[in-house]
Chain A
Amino acid sequence: MTYTKLASASAIVLAATTLSTKANAEDLTLCWAAWDPANALVELSKEFEAESGHTMNFEFVPWPNFADRMLNELNSGGKLCDLLIGDSQWIGGGAENGHYVQLNDFFDAEGISMDDFAPATVYAYSTWPKGTPNYYALPAMGDANGWFYRKDWFENPEIQAAYKEATGQDLREPQSQKELLQIAQFFQGREIDGKTVYGAAIFTERGSEGITMGVTGALYPWGFKYENTPGSYDMEGAVNSPEAVEALEFYKEFYKTATPPGYTNSYMGESLDAFKSGQVAMAMNWFAFFPGLYADPNTGGDKIDFFVNPPQNQAGSTLGGQGISVVSYSDKQDAALEYIKWFAQPEVQAKWWELGGYSAHNSVLEDPGFVDSQPFAGDFLEAMAGVQDFWQEPAYAELLLAMQKRIHDYVVADQGTAQEALDLLIEDWTEVFEDEGKL
């Protein structure tokens, strides 16, 4: 074959391939929350568009409305989303109500193994019933609640001396929950650079999930358990154990003595604002925000550092993060599955981490250079080793809103005791499980 003939044949094959790809090209819509990692995913997905010929559209909803908007969409059998990065708590409802496509056969056919992902993320983001090998999502975004602090303040010799004088200890990253409170109380109302600053920004939001996500950051390190025996729904003695009561009292003391005035209904946004505006020495928030915080020109870089939620009786962090699922009402399930297949590749996962997403793939997490790849990477690994999640039951919303109410009543509204709040919470949860036929 001459060179001209070879070139012509290649051109014909190429054109045919392009045409056939175009013929099957789909407009896929991926739904998620509107936050920093979502922007990273848009960037990452450009490669998928180039490779597959499919077009990616994105529907990002602000966090306060995310659950309402997306769960309404799923409950109404809407076709807006072909792919959904849904919260970990939704997995039970997503599976039982038939919103998500079960992915086992697809994983088997494509050689995608859940052993390639961090076990905690597979358990939390993918499986229903919990721990069984029934997969409804691929771990997409590992996340946990962590802390960040003003490194420049912690390293200031005058502040260090004042702390030593006040507590007899060195000012350092807190090693326990009680030390965390002590440091926060030290900074509360202190004047730094001519400005009054406060201890820490914590979650106290009432409407969606804020205060629950915050308070579990104290409950888990104290040893809080939802059930005495997993799967038994026997909560008496677990949910209201003496350790749980102590942890709840601790969180209230933290709120009352070490947070800025007016942070009575604060969540992710308020925490970021408090830190970026130089109001607080420390703040809790999801690891997902840490790349953005580090990049902040005013309070990032060498002024910030990060630490994992400190232990008390044990290590424990509140789980965030999400898995990516194919919505069962989508007419483009094949293309959506293609996206998941592409996303599961180790090299794509590596790029995902590089762009600011939190990969849960072992090839990324176990890479020798991972810990040093970002100032918060080591803390992320440590946090993910000790994460716990809220109930992932189909009735999780009822369970969550009951906890929101009881905890806010006690911590912010100052009503009743910690013991009463947890006793009432058990009553609420028992009623929900009775309605569900599980008790």
Chain B
Amino acid sequence: MSDRTVDRVAEATPERVARKIRGLSDRAIAWIFISPTIFLLLAINIFPLIWTIQLSFTNYKANRIGREVKDVGLRNYERILTDSDTWLNMQATAHFLFWTIFFQVLIGFTLAWLINKKFKGNDLWTTIIVLPMMLSPAVVGNFWKFLYQPQIGLFNYIVSWFTGKDPSSFEMLGSVTLAPWAIVIVDTWMWTPFVMLICLAGLRSIPDYIYEAAEIDRASKLRQFFTITIPMVLPFLMLAVLFRGIENFKMFDLVVQLTGGGPGSVTELTSINLKREAFEKWRTGYASAYAIILFVTVFGLASIYVKALNKVKQR
């Protein structure tokens, strides 16, 4: 804004308003500006959270408007925590989280490291690699469902080509042992590029002169990798793990498309179970307690992780 414009605004401001603004402290003006945001935050995040906590102690069902709502104390929490199915869902989620993050970090970092090497066409390869990430999880789920089809699926044919097994002799989505891995494979295929991009940003942020200094000191390539590359990329890697961890903890659409939580309940992640309880069985009070338990779990784990991340960044 030019000085002339500022003068015009000042002249146009009624004396009464100007006097009022001049009388406000910086703190008060700050509050005026941030209060709409705080109001929205309270309305959208805090109020529902408090309401959810309150509902978690009741037998409320959102589809039974006329039904008497009773206070059931800690019964919902007790039921959830003593239900063996809850722990099986937690295990399925932990398995999914651990292996997807493990493979995505491993492959993502490797790809980033390779792409970071100067070679002809690396931009093209980067574009090709990031394509899966751009697709909708629902589309990816359907697409891979066909790939895993024992009779016509390409995946089974490729495996059978390597192993000599009949393609229709194994079912990736129908087998209790293979179905969790089928989901891990698809999620890894889809989201490894995301980890790769973050790692690539980390690798490209390392100044060349550090490597040049290491060369002068005659440090081996392996030594350079472990003493320069890994420590400097580590905060980026940890950030990628945080993003993927949070995303995969609430994974829903991809798994629903691929297995619907089956076979049986082996791929029923906590998010799928929570949706069933809340919007299919309509046990709102019970589902609220479930949501609170998950919230506390994620919040606790994320807090510990962020502390560790900050420590790494400070080094």
**Residues of A that sit less than 8 Å from B by CB:** 68, 71-72, 75, 93, 96-98, 205-207, 260-265, 279, 394, 397-398, 401, 405, 408-410, 412-415, 435
11 contacts between A and B (CB under 8 A): A75-B65, A261-B171, A262-B153, A262-B173, A262-B174, A264-B174, A398-B283, A409-B265, A413-B263, A413-B264, A414-B176
Counting chain B CB atoms within 10 Å of each CB, the highest count among A68, A97, A262 belongs to A262
A-B CB proximity, top 6 nearest: A413-B264, A264-B174, A206-B262, A409-B264, A207-B260, A261-B150
- Closest chain-B Cβ to A256's Cβ sits at a distance in Å of 11
Query: How many Å lie between the Cα of A75 and that of B256 in the bound state?
Result: 24
- Are B66's CB and A97's CB within 8 A? yes
Q: In whole Å, how far is B74's beta carbon from the nearest beta carbon of chain A?
A: 16
Contacts of B310 in A (CB 8 A): none
Contact status A412-B66, CB under 8 Å: no
Q: Are A68 and B280 in contact (CB under 8 A)?
A: yes
Is the pair A97, B280 in contact by a Cβ cutoff of 8 Å?
no
Residue of B nearest to A207 (CB): B260
| Contact of B283 with A265 in the complex, beta carbons under 8 Å | no
For the complex, what is the distance from the CA of A97 to the CA of B282, rounded to whole Å? 13
Q: 18 other contacts beyond A98-B65, A401-B280, with CB at 8 A cut-off?
A: A96-B64, A97-B65, A98-B66, A207-B260, A260-B151, A261-B151, A261-B169, A261-B171, A264-B173, A264-B262, A265-B173, A265-B263, A405-B265, A408-B265, A409-B265, A410-B264, A413-B266, A414-B176
A-contact 0/1 string along B291-306, CB 8 Å cutoff: 0000000000000000
What separation, in Å, do the CA atoms of A340 and B259 have in the docked complex? 40
In this complex, what residue of A is CB-closest to B282? Answer: A397
Contact between chains at B281 and A412 (CB < 8 Å): no
- Chain B contacts to A: CB under 8 angstroms: 59, 62-66, 149-151, 153, 168-169, 171, 173-174, 176, 256, 259-266, 276, 279-283
Q: A40 vs B310: C-alpha distance in the bound complex, in angstroms? A: 64
Output the nearest chain B residue to A262 by Cβ-Cβ distance.
B150
Q: Is the CB of A401 within 8 A of B276?
A: yes
Q: Chain B residues with Cβ under 8 A from A72's Cβ?
A: 279
Please indicate the chain B residues that have their CB under 8 angstroms from the CB of A412 in the complex.
174, 262-264
Contact partner of A265 among B59, B262, B266, B281, CB < 8 A?
B262
CB distance from A274 to the nearest CB of B (A): 10
Q: For the complex, give the distance between the alpha carbons of A244 and B174 in Å.
A: 25
Please name the residue on chain B nearest to A72 by beta carbon.
B279
Bound Cα distance from A97 to B173, whole angstroms:
39
| Partner among B150, B261, B281 whose Cβ is within 8 Å of the Cβ of A207 | B261
- Give the complex CA separation of A96 and B63 in angstroms: 11
Q: Which residues of B contact A401 (CB under 8 A)?
A: 276, 280-281
A190 to nearest B CB, angstroms? 14
What distance in Å separates the Cβ of B47 from its nearest Cβ neighbour in chain A? 19
Are A206 and B151 in contact (CB-based, < 8 A)? no
A408 touches B263 (CB 8 A): yes
B285 to chain A, nearest CB (A): 10
- Pick the contact of A264: B62, B65, B263, B282 (CB < 8 A): B263
With A206-B262, A415-B264 given, is the CB distance from A398 to B281 under 8 Å? yes
Residues of A contacting B281 with CB < 8 Å? 397-398, 401
A432 CB → nearest B CB, Å? 9
Residues of B within 8 A of A414 (CB): 176, 264
Q: How far is the CA of A401 from the CA of B173 in the complex (A)?
A: 20
A428 to chain B, nearest CB (A): 10
A279 to B150, CA, bound (A): 13
B residues less than 8 Å from A409 (CB atoms): 264-265
CA distance A415 to B84 in the complex (A): 14
Chain B residues whose CB sits within 8 angstroms of the CB of A75 once the complex forms: 62-63, 65, 282
Asked if B59 contacts A435 (CB within 8 A), the reply is yes
Cα–Cα, bound, A415→B151 (Å)? 25
* Contact call B260/A206, Cβ cutoff below 8 A: yes
Q: Which residues of A contact B264 (CB under 8 A)?
A: 206, 405, 408-410, 412-415
CA distance A207 to B272 in the complex (A): 10
Q: Closest residue to B79 on the A side, CB-wise?
A: A431
User: What's the least CB distance linking A183 to chain B, in Å?
Assistant: 21
| A41 smallest CB distance to B (angstroms) | 27
Give the complex CA separation of A260 and B168 in angstroms.
9
CB distance from B209 to the nearest CB of A (A): 57
A96 to B173, CA, bound (A): 40
Query: A68, B265: Cβ atoms under 8 Å?
Result: no
**Hey, which chain A residues are within 8 Å of B174, CB to CB?**
262-265, 412
Q: Give bound CA distance, A68 to B276, whole Å.
A: 11
Q: Do B261 and A206 touch (CB < 8 A)?
A: yes
The smallest beta-carbon distance between A35 and chain B, in angstroms, is 20
Q: Chain A's nearest CB lies how many Å from the CB of B289?
A: 14
- Complex Cα distance, B280 from A333, in Å, reads 28
